[in-house]
């Protein structure tokens, strides 16, 4: 079991060449991942997508997931570290879906289904929530009080077939 994570590279061909080379030389198939989550876009040099907070409906989330999945599949990726299920984003202001906990869950499910339609694994993150409304945990230690509402999207997406759950940085 192994994998690679790719940050931003300048060209589609660069991704395709590197990913194919690594997969061909690996004894076992690798997970090839990136954060294509709406907002932070490691593939921005190749294609841009709406921010998560701009997505209005589960149907739109599905279409975005389908487009993301198409690009990821074309480049050789098989794992997207998305969607973000934190209910509020006061740090980046773009990584979380807007709406009630049910609306957030439905939009995230749409994104996952779009990714799955292109053969891409999806990751619910950042369990158990509250990562994006404390301090930037990429840079500082923080703590948060988790409530049942924070857990709902994760429980829901697990029942809907999300492939992975990423633990938060807290």
Predicted confidence at residue 133, as pLDDT, reads 67
What is the rounded distance in angstroms from the CA atom of residue 150 to the CA atom of residue 167? 13
Predicted confidence at residue 38, as pLDDT, reads 77
Predicted confidence at residue 48, as pLDDT, reads 93
Output b/e per residue, 133-151; b: 16+ Cβ within 10 A. Answer: ebbebeeeebebeeeeebe
Rounded mean pLDDT of 25-43? 90
């Amino acid at each position: 079991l192994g994998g690679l994570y790719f940050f931003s590279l300048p060209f589609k061909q660069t991704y395709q060449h590197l990913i194919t080379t690594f997969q061909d030389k690996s004894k076992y198939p690798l997970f090839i991942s990136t954060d294509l989550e709406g907002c932070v876009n490691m593939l921005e040099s190749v294609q841009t997508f709406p921010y998560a907070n701009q997505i209005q409906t589960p149907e739109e989330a599905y279409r975005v997931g389908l487009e993301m999945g198409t690009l990821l599949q074309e480049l050789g990726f098989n794992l997207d570290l998305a969607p973000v299920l934190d209910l509020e984003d006061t740090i980046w202001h773009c990584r979380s879906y807007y709406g009630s906990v049910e609306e957030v869950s439905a939009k995230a499910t749409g994104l996952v289904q779009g990714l799955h339609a292109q053969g891409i694994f999806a990751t619910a993150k950042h369990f158990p929530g509250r990562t994006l409304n404390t301090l930037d945990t990429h840079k500082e230690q923080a703590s948060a009080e988790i409530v049942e509402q924070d857990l709902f999207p994760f429980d829901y997406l697990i029942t809907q077939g999300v492939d992975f759950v990423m633990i938060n940085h807290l």
